Amino acid sequence: MKVAFQKYELNMEKSDDLISSRNFKFWFDFFPDAYKHTRGATRTKFLQKKFDEMQVIKMVESASKSEKADVKKMGDSVALELMKEWTKLKPIKTPEEVTGLSKLFGELYGPIYTKALAEAAKKADKSHVKLPRTASNL
C-alpha cells in the first residue's frame, strides 16, 4: 500500500490535510479493489500503521469541516471504519473513552456502541446450549 501512496504522491510524513489532498481520493477508491482478498484490511488500519489514532481522528475532524462533499464523504467513511474497529476491541472502547479522544467522535460513537453491545448479547444468547430436562439435571 505504500507503493500506492507513493504513486499518488501522498505525503505519509504529515497527517495534516491528507484527506483533502487531491490524490487521496484516488488512493481511497483504489484500496477496496486492491485489498478485497486481504482479510481484515481496511483503510483505517493502513492509516493507523503510519499515523497514531489521534492523528487519524484529527484528519477525519478536518474532513468533516470541508466544503468539498467528496472530502467530507471520505472522512465519514474513515470515521465509520475506525468506530467499527473500536467495537471489535477486547475490551470494547466505551463512549466515555471515545469522547475523551474527540467530542465529535463521542457523539457519533454512542449509537454504534449500543448496536455492537446488542449484537454481542444476541450472539451470546445463541451460543448457550440448553440441556434437555432429564431426571439427572432437575
- Report how many domains make up the chain: 1
Can you list the alpha helix ranges (DSSP code H) found in the chain? 2-7, 24-34, 43-50, 53-64, 69-87, 95-101, 103-127
**Residue range 30-47: average pLDDT?**
86
The pLDDT of residue 3 = 54
Is 130 a domain residue? Answer: no
Lowest mean per-residue pLDDT among 36-40, 51-55, 97-101: 36-40
The pLDDT of residue 134 = 47
The whole domain housing 36 covers 2-124
pLDDT tens by residue, 92-130: 999 999 999 999 999 999 999 999 999 988 888 877 645
Those residues whose C-beta lies under 8 Å from the C-beta of residue 15, and which sit 6 or more positions away, are 51, 55, 56, 58, 59
Q: Would you state the cell numbers that stand for residue 23, as one nine-digit string?
A: 490524490
Is 137 a domain residue? Answer: no
Is 68 a domain residue? Answer: yes
pLDDT at 11 over 80: no
How many other C-beta atoms can be found within 10 angstroms of the C-beta atom of residue 78? 21
